[in-house]
Amino acid sequence: MRRNWWRWLVGVILLIAVCWPAYTWSKANIKTLKSAGRTRMAPVIMIPGSSASQNRFDDLITELGKETPQKHSVLKLTVQTDGKIKYSGSIRQNDNQPFIIVAFANNHDGKANIDKQAVWLNIAFKALIKTYQFNHFRALGHSNGGLIWTLFLERYLKQSPKVHIDRLMTIAAPFNMESTSTTTKTGMFKELYQYRQGLPDSLTAYSIAGTENYTSDGTVPYNSVNFGKYIFQDEVKHFTEITVTGANTAHSDLPQNKQIVALIRQYLLDENVPNKIRKQNQQQMRQ
């Protein structure tokens, strides 16, 4: 009996000795395979608002370049009304987080044009995927650019099923257009609300509002930005609204506003920012 017991014990020890390395290797391999599913390149794609060109974010990019530890190459696209695309700039080799700006030859305001611009964005997006082979990205939209992104995510991203969005940040996006009402719903809002279930479940979204006088940034009413919560809440993984006040909070100044640049660095680009700025950013956030 004693000999059988020792044989059993030795057998168990040998089994563990053989299986443990295999288990450890398998666990590490699974983790590697999961990571391998994400391309190294994850561009930050920016869309300007109405009447703005592909150069709208030049000042923002300059501000980001002053403190960012990583230098980002810049590629600019302008989509023509016939779907053809004009390019300028380039993406540097081994730049895993380039900035890509998508603008539109017809950059006029109005719901009808915003609907068209979402379609044109889809054309540009598919062309970018084909050329650069990325499968995840981050997005920034100023003013109506935020509406274009929202429509695209609701209705067109599913046409590129192997690509997903990590984060979205909108700046002064008028989800209820020019309305100052807390109850009246414009046609633009109704469309965004109707298709909201198409938003990616895993999305982390930030909506920034600028206020010169706590009611408006001089162009977009705060209440209109605030309507974004009815679109995103309970449809995406995380939604956060942020209000920026003080100097340089007029609508056209917002993309290069120092506070917003810090928010972009921390929450969109995942950069390390000083603790003082990090605390200020957190104070502005409202879940």
- From 144-153, 182-191, 241-250, 274-283, the region with the lowest mean pLDDT: 274-283
145 alpha carbon, distance to own chain's centre: 12
- Is it the case that residue 6 has pLDDT exceeding 80? no
Residue 254 φ/ψ, nearest 5 degrees: -60, -40
Q: What is the DSSP letter of 77?
A: E
**Between 236 and 2, the higher pLDDT residue:** 236
Is the model's pLDDT at 2 over the cut of 60?
Answer: no
Look up residue 229 and give its two tokens: 């919560």
Q: Where are the domains of the chain?
A: 43-286
Closest CA to 222 of 207, 211, 232: 211
Strand 85-89 relative to strand 99-104, pairing: unpaired
CA atoms of 249 and 40, how far apart (whole Å): 35
Token pair of 116 as six digits: 């068209």
pLDDT interval class at 71 (50, 70, 90): confident
Q: Give the Cα separation of 76 and 63 in Å (integer).
A: 18
Residue 92 has pLDDT above 90, yes or no: yes
Q: What angle do CA 130, 133, 135 make, to 5 degrees?
A: 115
Residue 78 DSSP SS3? strand
- pLDDT category of residue 26 using cuts at 50, 70 and 90: very low
Token pair 């705060």: residue:
222
Winning range, highest mean pLDDT, from 2-16, 64-78, 106-120, 207-221: 106-120
List pLDDT tens digits, range 201-248.
Answer: 999 999 999 987 778 878 999 999 999 999 999 999 999 999 998 888
Mean pLDDT of the chain: 87
CATH number for domain 43-286, candidates 3.40.50.1820, 3.90.1570.10, 3.90.600.10, 3.40.640.10: 3.40.50.1820
191-198, Cβ contacts within 8 angstroms, sequence gap of 24 or more = 191/111, 191/115, 191/151, 192/147, 192/150, 192/151, 192/154, 192/231, 193/230, 193/231, 195/151, 195/154, 195/155, 196/154, 196/231, 196/232, 196/235, 197/235, 198/153, 198/154, 198/155, 198/158
| pLDDT for the residue 218 | 84
d(C-alpha 181, C-alpha 214), whole Å: 14
How far apart CA 9 and CA 269 sit, in angstroms, is: 55
- Model-level pTM? 0.84
Calculate what percentage of the chain has a pLDDT beyond 70: 82
Output the CA–CA distances (angstroms, integers) from residue 36 to 26, 126, 160, 165, 187, in the order listed. Answer: 15, 22, 19, 17, 43
Asked if residue 40 has pLDDT above 50, the reply is: yes
